[in-house]
């Protein structure tokens, strides 16, 4: 049985440490957002925490391979099977899809969402810098910050999400951005959420988004 945190307690969040960069800035941002944060690759700690953050920078295959060293796919699967929240960031979002195609290489992802991550068709790649997002009015992540801009650093993205509400969770809430292609900037799908942008690099708006997620824990 999962224990309910005591009144006033800060929710526990594990930032999954599997060798990807960006770990400590994400941890600091989560602390500012109201979480009690542990950075670890320990499986049991990742399963026990109120929330799990899966960061990711670099190549799709490298992140998938590095996640395998800490049983990342199993950790995500087991948490979601129990309805326990997971948040992916940047490539940590991308690997949640079925596959990624990068430099001609087709790599299997974690398969939590259908679809393929591919290179954006734009005049300038990577997409680097601040951009607007189009979030749904009922978004939890973007509550109170729907008009804010967020910081992106990526060359690849998912341009569609073919999923409805007939599975174990309700139909996902999707947030979009445009850089050449229109692509998914964020997804909220039951206990599984993700952002293509970096909240930890997005100033006050990014901290507010993480705080919105932490409050759901």
Catalytic residues: 90, 198, 200
CB 12 within 8 A of CB 50: yes
d(CA 92, CA 57): 7
CB 53 within 8 A of CB 15: yes
d(CA 92, CA 94): 6
3-state DSSP assignment of residue 109: coil
Q: Give me the torsion for CA of 12, 145, 7, 52, rounded to 10°.
A: -20
What does the angle CA 181 – CA 184 – CA 189 come to, to the nearest 5 degrees? 160
């Amino acid at each position: 049985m999962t224990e309910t945190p005591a009144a006033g307690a800060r929710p526990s969040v594990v930032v999954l440490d599997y060798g990807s960069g960006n770990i400590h800035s994400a941890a600091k941002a989560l602390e500012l957002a109201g979480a009690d944060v542990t950075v670890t690759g320990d499986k049991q700690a990742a399963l026990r925490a109120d929330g799990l953050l899966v960061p990711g920078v670099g190549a799709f295959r490298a992140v998938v391979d590095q996640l395998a060293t800490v049983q990342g796919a199993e950790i995500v699967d087991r948490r979601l099977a129990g309805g326990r929240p997971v948040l992916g960031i940047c490539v940590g979002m991308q690997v949640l899809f079925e596959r990624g195609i990068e430099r001609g290489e087709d790599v299997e992802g974690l398969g939590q969402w259908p679809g393929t991550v591919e290179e954006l068709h734009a005049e300038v790649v990577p997409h680097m810098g601040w951009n607007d997002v189009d979030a749904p009015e009922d978004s939890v992540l973007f509550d109170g910050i729907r008009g804010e801009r967020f910081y992106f650093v990526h060359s690849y993205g998912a341009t569609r999400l073919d999923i409805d509400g007939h599975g174990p969770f309700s139909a996902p809430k999707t947030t979009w951005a445009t850089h050449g292609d229109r692509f998914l900037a964020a997804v909220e799908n039951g206990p599984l959420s993700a952002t293509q942008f970096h909240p930890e690099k997005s100033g006050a708006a990014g901290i507010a988004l993480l705080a919105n997620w932490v409050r759901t824990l």
